[in-house]
């Protein structure tokens, strides 16, 4: 068996990756392991990194790091190689391999005794690129500078539905419905249905409500203009400038995520998440603040730098959101013991 490691480089992750490697080779000494270093994605490097992401001959990919590590690997992987998320610290919706269950889960991978969840993705294509940007969770369109409105026209299957102005637009898969789209007023999709969710963020026309359309819909956003360049943020991992017209469609490639237990009860899971995400006491705060509050609930304590990397939001937007959440008394901060220049933020 050939296994690819996609690894975030830091001391704790390196140590966990070495432990996973040693355990795999102890169980199955003939296993071939190749290592790919995780890198932050940007407009200049993503196409080259995607071309050189050599996993086609791997039987599976281990992402070792946080949720951002997992989403970057998913973005770069253009084939259907099964992916499994491993983390020694932050446990997310995707995490399957932890220090507590490591040996059993690795044994299951090596003997191919696992389940695979198959998730649809969506592609963004604009006139400036022939290579689509592929998203597992959501594609968020916003002006580069915060606090600016964006003009947009929403066209679905050649029918103009909305013309107006808003802070931005979020186009989400059903899997991403409990993420940024939910924080901006979108619905929750139960059971991974074949749909796309479109959420205007703070539209001036309040009749521009969130929409649910079939997965096969041809979605176009035209006349995208603002006083600063409009950008697309893909799964919170990469920001790219876009032209004034883009199309979003179902991607021909799906994502296969390895699971080791029977499919979790989606209703129970979402009920637990909704209890955590009771944001009524944050009524009136910007979606970015709700998004960061949700991230701190799900991922646990994080630094401002980690929040910027995980969300893809500008530094100023994250800093403003943290100030709003502190003023509302829902988060606190404490000094970072290993780096005096940073603080660690957590839900109060």
Looking at 235, 252, 269, the residue that finishes a domain is 252
Residue 347 phi/psi, 5-degree rounding, is: -75, 130
| Cα–Cα distance, 315 to 306 (Å, whole number) | 11
- Whether residue 298 contacts residue 68, with contact meaning beta carbons closer than 8 Å, is answered with no
Predicted local distance difference test score (pLDDT) of residue 106? 96
Q: Which two tokens stand for residue 194?
A: 């074949």
Q: What is the CATH number of the domain that holds 175?
A: 2.60.200.30
Q: Is residue 272 a part of any domain in this protein?
A: no
Same domain, 77 and 126: no
Q: Which two tokens stand for residue 132?
A: 């689509």
* CA separation, residue 96 to residues 92, 103, 304 (Å): 9, 12, 26
Q: Is residue 136 a part of any domain in this protein?
A: yes
| Cα–Cα distance, 343 to 153 (Å, whole number) | 41
Cα atoms in the 13 Å half-sphere on the side-chain side of 131: 11
Same domain, 137 and 113: no
Q: Is residue 263 a part of any domain in this protein?
A: no
pTM above 0.85, yes or no: no
Helix (H, G, I), strand (E, B) or coil at 325: helix
Same domain, 189 and 155: yes
Q: Is residue 318 a part of any domain in this protein?
A: yes
Same domain, 305 and 219: no
Same domain, 228 and 324: no
Per-residue pLDDT of the chain (348 residues; tens, 9 = 90+): 999 999 998 878 999 999 999 999 999 999 999 999 999 999 999 999 998 886 668 899 999 998 899 999 999 998 889 999 999 876 677 889 989 899 999 999 999 999 899 999 999 998 777 789 999 999 999 999 988 999 999 999 999 999 999 999 999 999 999 888 988 889 988 878 999 999 999 999 999 999 999 999 999 999 999 999 999 999 999 999 998 999 999 999 999 999 886 555 445 555 555 555 555 567 788 888 888 888 887 777 889 988 998 888 889 999 999 999 998 888 888 887 667 788 889 887
Q: Is residue 270 a part of any domain in this protein?
A: no
Q: Is residue 271 a part of any domain in this protein?
A: no
Domain coverage including residue 63? 2-119
Q: How many domains does the chain have?
A: 3
Task: Return the number of other C-beta atoms located less than 10 Å from residue 240's C-beta.
Answer: 18
Same domain, 126 and 241: yes
Q: Is residue 155 a part of any domain in this protein?
A: yes
Predicted local distance difference test score (pLDDT) of residue 90? 66
Q: Which two tokens stand for residue 103?
A: 């040996």
- Whether residue 93 contacts residue 207, with contact meaning beta carbons closer than 8 Å, is answered with no
Contacts 24+ apart (CB under 8 A), 33-37: 33/2, 33/3, 33/4, 33/5, 34/2, 34/3, 34/4, 34/5, 34/58, 35/4, 35/5, 35/7, 36/4, 36/5, 36/6, 36/7, 37/7, 37/9
Q: Which residue is listed with tokens 């507590």? A: 100
- Estimate to the nearest angstrom the gap between the alpha carbon of 199 and the chain centroid: 16
Same domain, 112 and 163: no
Q: Is residue 269 a part of any domain in this protein?
A: no
């Amino acid at each position: 068996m050939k296994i690819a490691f996609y690894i975030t480089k830091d001391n704790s992750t390196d140590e966990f990756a070495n432990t996973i490697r040693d355990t795999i080779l102890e169980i199955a000494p003939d296993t071939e392991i190749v290592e790919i270093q995780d890198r932050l994605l940007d407009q200049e490097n993503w196409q080259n990194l995607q071309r050189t992401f050599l996993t086609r001959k791997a039987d599976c990919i281990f992402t070792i790091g946080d949720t951002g590590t997992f989403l970057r690997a998913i973005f770069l992987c253009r084939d259907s190689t099964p992916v499994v998320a491993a983390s020694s610290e932050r446990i997310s919706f995707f995490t399957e391999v932890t220090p507590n269950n490591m040996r059993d889960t690795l044994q299951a991978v090596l003997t191919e005794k696992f389940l695979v969840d198959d998730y649809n993705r969506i592609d963004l294509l604009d006139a400036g690129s022939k290579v689509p940007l592929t998203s597992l969770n959501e594609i968020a369109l916003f002006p580069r500078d915060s606090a600016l409105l964006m003009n947009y026209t929403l066209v679905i299957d050649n029918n103009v539905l909305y013309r107006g102005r808003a802070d931005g637009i979020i186009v989400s898969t059903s899997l991403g419905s409990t993420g940024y789209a939910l924080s901006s007023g979108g619905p929750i999709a139960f059971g991974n249905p074949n749909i796309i969710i479109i959420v205007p963020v703070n539209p001036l026309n309040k009749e521009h409500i969130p929409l649910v359309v079939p997965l096969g819909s041809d979605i176009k956003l035209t006349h995208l203009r603002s006083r600063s360049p409009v950008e697309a943020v893909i799964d919170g991992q990469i920001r790219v400038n876009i032209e004034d017209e883009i199309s979003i469609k179902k991607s021909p490639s799906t994502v296969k995520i390895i699971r080791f237990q029977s499919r979790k009860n989606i209703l129970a899971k979402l009920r637990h998440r909704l209890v955590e995400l009771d944001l009524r006491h944050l009524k009136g705060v910007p979606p970015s603040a709700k998004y960061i509050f949700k991230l701190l609930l799900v991922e646990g304590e994080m630094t401002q730098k980690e929040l910027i990397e995980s969300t893809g939001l500008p530094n100023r937007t994250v800093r403003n959101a943290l100030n709003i959440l502190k003023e509302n008394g829902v988060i606190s901060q404490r000094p970072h013991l290993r780096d005096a220049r940073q603080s660690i933020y957590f839900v109060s």
